[in-house]
A = this chain, B = another copy of it.
Amino acid sequence: VNAQGEEATSNSSSEIAPQPYGVTTTPPAEARQHGVGANVFIVERAAERLSIYDLKAKALLPTKISGLGNMKHATMTFAPDLRWGFVSTRDGQLHRIDLETLSVAGTLKTSNNSIDIAMSQDGQHVAVAQYIPGGLSIVDVDTMQLVKALPVALTSKIDSRVTGVVDAAPNEFVATLMEGKQVWRVAAENGDFKIVETIELGDDIGIPYDAMITSDSRFYLVAHLGKADYSVVDLNTHPAKLRRISLDDAEIRITPQTPVKLPHMASWASAHGHVFAPVVGEKRIVVLRSTDLEYEKSIAVRGHAVYIVRRPDEREVWVSFSGEDDDAFVQVIDTESMVVKHEMKVGARIYHMDFTPRGGQALISANADNAFFVVNAATYKIEDREDLESPSGIFGSWRAFRIGL
């Protein structure tokens, strides 16, 4: 990991960092068939493109948004006016997607390897979390200009990859330094993007590999490798309050195994007064109390959880898994009785899972089966299956209106 970042600009909004790699724009592709809200973007990893599923037509659009680069772990966020979507790539590009014409409307290469992305609460800036060089890049959504580079070298004692970037109230970005074992709070107000607080997670933890923020924007949860605990950063105050919560359960003795894929943390695993969270290398998920994130209990599941997603009515959370034996399956947990109430085989190597916002359908990509599935969230029946090349992330425009996405 290399942390040779751009020089940071001073903390003045009038000073704009030079744009290091240049903006390119491609002409508009074919038009959409329905309103912008109907379109769900699905990453086709191997094909280095986005496919678009029209939820109203219940079909893929003929349009593909191609030539995007290395789409491994590519994630997408949306401007709140729903004019633009943004996708960051593993080769360090930030693409702006025109949601009306379904085409690329500007690309900025901010680094050599980026991993995560967040939209500011005021909708004016995108933050890109970078591995190489380690840092955060802040980009203006309208101009696609880099307005601030925050290299890890700026404050951290060691070079570090940056991950888990989210928006937080009031108009902050929060991100995690992996090797640096720090959390940054960055002010997104007034355009200065100052690191207003650096929270040391402690040297006694393993690599913090991912993070999430609760949907009320209060708790930033950081997951570590090597031990069943989380760092919980309470953002309610400045300075933030840090505590460690153990996921150990006296009644459950499991020797952790190395999972094929690390779990994905996402703010939507909060349901019915609880947060449902994965444990690395163990075949259980943990239940925390929403209001203070205290450990409540564990639920045994069939494999190593990757995604834990709540159905919007909060009566169920759906869990996907890593590893060949389990990764085609989804288990459904009842959030009241806390039991696995249903298990279904959807498709091999499930890489992403989300629900339509009022909960009618689950949208699931099965990477090894080259398939995208629409599953009825009430009956568990597969309503549609589409062929895609190596699908992974699934992103709907409703993310524009949710804290932490």
Contact = CB atoms under 8 A, between A and B. Distances in A.
Contacts of A27: none
Interface string A345-358: 00000000000111
Contact of A216 (B167, B314, B403): B314
Classify chain A's interface size.
35 or more
Contacts of A182: none
B313 A123 contact: no
A75 interface: no
A123 B38 CA distance: 10
A217 B314 CA distance: 8
Interface stretch (A81-89, A200-208, A364-372): A81-89
B121 A359 contact: yes
A398 B84 CA distance: 16
Contacts of A170: 313, 359-360, 377-378
A103 to B, nearest CB: 15
A55 B81 contact: yes
Contacts of A217: 312-314, 359
B36 A358 contact: no
A241 interface: no
Given A56-B123, A216-B315, A313-B217, A358 B35 contact: no
Contacts of A37: 36, 79-83, 397, 400-401
Given A82-B397, A397-B82, A216 B313 contact: yes
Main secondary structure of the interface of A (DSSP, over half): loop
Q: How many copies of the chain does the oligomer comprise?
A: 2
A30 to B, nearest CB: 17
Contact of A38 (B81, B121, B315, B401): B81
A315 B398 CA distance: 22
Given A80-B37, A398-B401, A315 B122 contact: no
Interface in A175-225: 216-218
A121 B56 contact: no
A398 B82 CA distance: 11
Contacts of A400: 37, 357, 398
Nearest to A274: B291
16 contacts: A36-B37, A37-B83, A38-B81, A56-B81, A56-B123, A80-B358, A167-B358, A169-B315, A169-B378, A170-B360, A216-B314, A216-B315, A217-B314, A272-B291, A273-B273, A398-B401
Given A36-B36, A37-B81, A169-B358, 11 more contacts: A35-B79, A35-B81, A37-B80, A55-B80, A80-B356, A169-B312, A170-B360, A170-B378, A272-B291, A357-B402, A398-B400
Please name the 3 residue pairs, one residue from A and one from B, whose CB atoms are nearest each other, closest first: A35-B83, A37-B82, A38-B81
